[in-house]
Amino acid sequence: MASKLDLDPRVVRAARRLAARAGQPVVDLARSHTTVSVERAVLRLAGVHGADQDGIPWVNRLVDAVRADVGLGHGVAVPVFHAMRSTGVDDVTVLAQKAAAGAVRFDVPGKKADAATARRAAARATGRGLKIVDRRRAERDRLIKRLGDPRQRPWIYLIVATGDIYEDIPQAQAAARAGADVIAVIRSTGQSLLDYVPEGATREGFAGTYATQENFRLMRAALDETSKELGRYVRLTNYASGLCMPEIAALAGMERLDMMLNDSMYGILFRDINPIRTFVDQRFSRQVHARAGIIINTGEDNYLTTADAVEAAHTVTVSQLLNEFFAHEAGLADWQLGLGHAFEINPEVPESFRLELAHALLARELFPDAPLKWMPPTKHMTGDVFRGNLLDGFFNLVGALTGQGILLVGMMTEAVVTPWLSDRDIALQNVRYVLTGAGNLHEDFVPAPGGFIQQRAHAVLGEAVELLEKIVDDSLLTAIAEGTFGIMKRPADRGKGLDGVARHDDDYYNPVTVALEEAP
């Protein structure tokens, strides 16, 4: 798309440089710490699976046992695979079971040769896990080649959320048949704060369905069937967020999910998860996503639901730039960056639609190669479903006019009920009308030089640069602590999950990170 906003390339470069400077200390922090969930993800890739009779996964039991004996700072790989050798157990899940029963004592081998042997064994095991991820990615490439991508942009993204995976499946299939290109299964509200990943197929969730490996597998298989029937590859989305981000990322890679919600700051701001825990988990999970060919969706839309969408527009831009920096650093390519933003300006504000256009176009032009994720109005949906449907139509129109990559379909019953079948049908009809009637209007839509839209976009970018300068001076962790994003104040020494963070010892070893960082 040719430039429509006439952004100054020097300002854009300066913004990116500032984002990199603001983000680098956080990356350094992430590179020098590990978490219980990172270590559990390593064990999942190494083949530990299943849970005890109370539903606590064996990876949790094993990491807890290792931690109790030698701490987390060495990484669990060496103590675990050293114990495999010394106990003669050849199945790492069996080792976890024995460890849970208190029958294994972990230590860090004193002899260099023993440590090297354990490292090699761990790398072999996690290599098998990564090979599964690679095979799933190749499988996706094959299916897309055979069945094809959606015929139009933006891709149409629909949510299902019944709480019961066996109800979700027919609903997801029906949504795909009705035109959805991407299906997202919303998670149960409690899940982000669980420090373990539930096991098996689940039928009980609140306002969503638990993310489990088995639920991933069931839904992907069902959508593969539907993809064949429809002659286009229907993508599946879930959430790599909350306390188990790294593990969910690993499971998503192994079960061929296609997109994952994965924001660098969402958990900190909206779930009060400790900032360091989040940044460490996030970096690892993004490295896994990069390897798995998964498109991440970031969560900037959320800032606008708590802060004012006009006043806080630049915080979205800042967060997008930070998310981009962290994503590139973790190895994700531009096509994998579903950077988020949303249509959340109060419709009573004069020129609200033009402001929305300016903000959406700014995101488009700052990130020309990223499949931006365009999120519908929620904050100003009032229960007046008629007005809501109109608002969604205007939201769709902005999406079409500004070349958004992924369009989350807005529901007129937002804030009323979890969407009914007919709500989805009406919403899709709305999207189809706009895309059919005005899908190519972006060809003719050129904002007047120096006009309202250009000026607004320049102003937001300018404010974003100012804020980034402040963040560079104060540090990102301070900015988060002071409530710069989405009003919430989140100090680095507070929040959930902090006790699951450990600084690397000198001999820290994580075979998965090593493999992901050396891969081309």
Catalytically annotated residue among 233, 239, 373, 392: 373
Measured CA angle at 348 (ends 345, 349), to 5 deg: 60
Place of tokens 């709305």: 430
DSSP result, 414-468: TTTSSPPHHHHHHHHHHHHHHHHHHTTGGGT--PPTTSHHHHHHHHHHHHHHHHH
Say whether 297 sits in a helix, a strand or coil: strand
Exactly one of 11, 14, 94, 178 binds other proteins (CB under 8 A); which one?
A: 178
Q: Which of 101, 116, 138, 487 binds other proteins (CB under 8 A)?
A: 487
Residues 68 to 127 in contact with other proteins, rule: CB under 8 A: none
Is 421 near other proteins (CB under 8 A)?
Answer: yes
Site for other proteins in 194-253 (CB under 8 A): 206-207
Tell me the C-alpha distance between 158 and 236, whole Å. Answer: 10
Phi/psi at 269 (nearest 5 deg)? -75, -40
Q: Does 177 bind other proteins (CB under 8 A)?
A: yes
Judged by CB under 8 A, which of 94, 390, 415, 498 binds other proteins?
415
C-alpha 325/C-alpha 323 separation (Å) is 5
Q: Does 163 bind other proteins (CB under 8 A)?
A: yes
Which span (83-91, 140-148, 420-428, 449-457) binds other proteins, by CB under 8 A?
420-428
Segment interacting with other proteins (CB under 8 A) among 79-87, 123-131, 418-426, 469-477:
418-426
What angle separates helix 112-147 from helix 213-230, to the nearest 10 degrees?
30
308 is a site residue for other proteins (CB under 8 A) = yes
Q: Which of positions 380-409 make contact with other proteins (CB under 8 A)?
A: 383
195 classed as catalytic: no
Our finding on whether 420 is near other proteins (CB under 8 A) is yes
From the list 210, 266, 303, 509, the catalytic residue is: 266
HSE value, Cβ hemisphere, 13 Å, CA-based, for 211: 34
> Which of these segments, 8-16, 122-130, 302-310, 435-443, binds other proteins (CB under 8 A)?
302-310
Out of 14, 174, 438, 498, which residue is the one contacting other proteins (CB under 8 A)? 174
Q: Give the C-alpha separation, 226 to 258, whole Å.
A: 15
Query: Nearest CA to 334 among 295, 299, 364?
Result: 295
Q: Residue 335 or residue 420: which is nearer to other proteins going by CB? A: 420
DSSP for 9-41 reads: HHHHHHHHHHHHHHHHHHHHHHHTEEEHHHHHH
Residues in Cβ contact with 322 at an 8 Å cutoff, skipping those fewer than 6 apart: 19, 22, 23, 264, 265, 476
Min dist CB 436 to other proteins, Å, is: 17
Q: Under the criterion CB under 8 A, does residue 494 sit at the interface with other proteins? A: no
Which strands form 340-342's sheet, in the order they lie side by side?
337-338, 295-297, 259-261, 235-239, 182-185, 155-160, 406-408, 373-375, 340-342
CB 103 within 8 A of CB 142: no
Measured from the CB atom, is 94 or 415 closer to other proteins? Answer: 415
First to last CA, the chain: 30
**Which of 23, 163 has the CB closer to other proteins?**
163
Distance CA 78, CA 223 (A): 39
Concerning whether 266 is annotated as a catalytic residue, the answer is yes
Whole-number minimum distance, CB 426 to other proteins, in Å? 8
Count of chain residues binding other proteins (CB under 8 A): 28
To 10 degrees, what angle do helices 275-292 and 36-45 make? Answer: 20
Our CB check for other proteins shows the closer of 206 and 335 to be 206
Stretch that binds other proteins, among 73-81, 269-277, 437-445, 467-475 (CB under 8 A): 269-277
User: For other proteins, which residue of 45, 307, 310, 427 counts as binding (CB under 8 A)?
Assistant: 307
Is residue 157 flagged as an active site residue?
A: no
Which residues are the active-site residues? Answer: 266, 301, 373
Binding residues vs other proteins (CB under 8 A): 163, 174, 177-178, 188-190, 192-193, 206-207, 270-272, 305-308, 379, 383, 415, 418, 420-422, 425-426, 487
